[in-house]
Amino acid sequence: MGLVIYSYILKYLLLNNRLLLNNRNKNTLKLKSIKKAIDSTLIGFIEKLGLMVNPIILNFKDTNSHLLIFYFHGLYESQSQKELNHIDPQNNLTVSQFTEFIDYFLYHNYHFIKPKDLLTDLPNDQSYAMITFDDGYFNNTLAIDVLNKYNIPATFFVTTKNIFENKSFWWDIIYKFRMQNNTSLRKIRKEQEYLKKFKHEHIEKYIETHFGTKATKPWSDIDRPLNPVELKQISEHPLIAVGNHTHNHSILTNHNDEELKKEFEKSNKLLFDLTGLAPISIAYPNGNFNKSILKITEKSGFQFAFTTQNGINILPTIDNKIISLKRFMPKPVSIKDYGSFVRLGYSPDIIYLNFKKQIKSFMKK
């Protein structure tokens, strides 16, 4: 009911937004910034409305058989580490925020499971959650004490080239060097998004040309990847599974089938040789995938694959090969507020973008 009411309010606001913009001058730059301001106001509006209605809806909402999967990137020891700008923050949490995060879902009776549990008969009168970490940062080891304390499993998806060659991740290199030169965050994001259109070879050349040959050297324990010895130790931890995140963190939709196979196989071989275990899970870098990637994923022997599409997974999944699981990215905000959205399976920015799409297609008719 609450969602219906605010979908009507949103439609009204969006129509006004269009009228308002039509009457503005034709300076596109100005229009862009006005549009952005309206977008963020409306997203803020949905968020406020959501915070009022979510707790009411949650009183009636049945979350049994829901599986919420979360993907973290880096963790900070403390807030002051974040301010050093050694790493792109990407909504990273501090360890204490991570602890509160786990506490919140345990309090709401979510049972933390690992990918393999999806192949068993999970009781349908419970709600489930899963923790994943993408990329292979050394700082992910900060999670281990928390996982031990609550006896909670997690999967670490690692990028083997960075680990075996001790190289910083390219998006962090752009972030830290640009921040040093006081580049605006908007420009940094634009540069990172631009590079995501290319294959990894092109990105590597770009980094070398713009930041020099030594730019891939990590600055500290905050931005460095795990090393092979640490990764081997982690793989032996009973609560942690190591998953494939490709060898080069390649955005798979930029590659042909042969290149995809190589990305999967090279990483799998390195991980098998190091840990003695072949990964059964993969997380698609940047979340990009298509039908052909799904096919190759299955053929490559992965049982589980994780996307970055937001949403609740409903159990049981149709077959045993679960190759496009949805995930939510945690945010360093009030866990009570964040949790109320994800437990209902939406986030204000995504609901807004979907409405915007609907209004656009309605207006075209």
- The binding site for Zn ion (CB under 5 A) comprises 134-135, 285
Rounded to the nearest whole angstrom, what is the least distance from the CB of residue 266 to Zn ion in the complex?
16
| Residue with Cβ nearer Zn ion (162 or 313) | 162
- Comparing every residue's Cβ against Zn ion, the nearest one is 134
| Residue with Cβ nearer Zn ion (105 or 157) | 157
The answer to whether 127 and 108 have CB atoms below 8 angstroms apart is yes
Residue type present at position 77: E
H or E element that contains 180: helix 170-180
Using alpha carbons, select from 230, 231, 234, 216 the residue that is nearest to residue 166: 216
Rounded to the nearest whole angstrom, what is the least distance from the CB of residue 362 to Zn ion in the complex?
36
The answer to whether 74 and 92 have CB atoms below 8 angstroms apart is yes
| Residue with Cβ nearer Zn ion (133 or 346) | 133
Rounded to the nearest whole angstrom, what is the least distance from the CB of residue 145 to Zn ion in the complex?
24
| Residue with Cβ nearer Zn ion (134 or 263) | 134
Rounded to the nearest whole angstrom, what is the least distance from the CB of residue 161 to Zn ion in the complex?
12
Degrees to nearest 5, angle at CA 336 with 139 and 149: 45
Rounded to the nearest whole angstrom, what is the least distance from the CB of residue 245 to Zn ion in the complex?
6
The answer to whether 53 and 341 have CB atoms below 8 angstroms apart is no
| Residue with Cβ nearer Zn ion (134 or 223) | 134
Q: 280-304 burial, b if ≥16 CB within 10 A, otherwise e?
A: bbbbbbbbbbeeebbebbeebebbb
In this structure, what token pair is assigned to residue 24? 């503005």
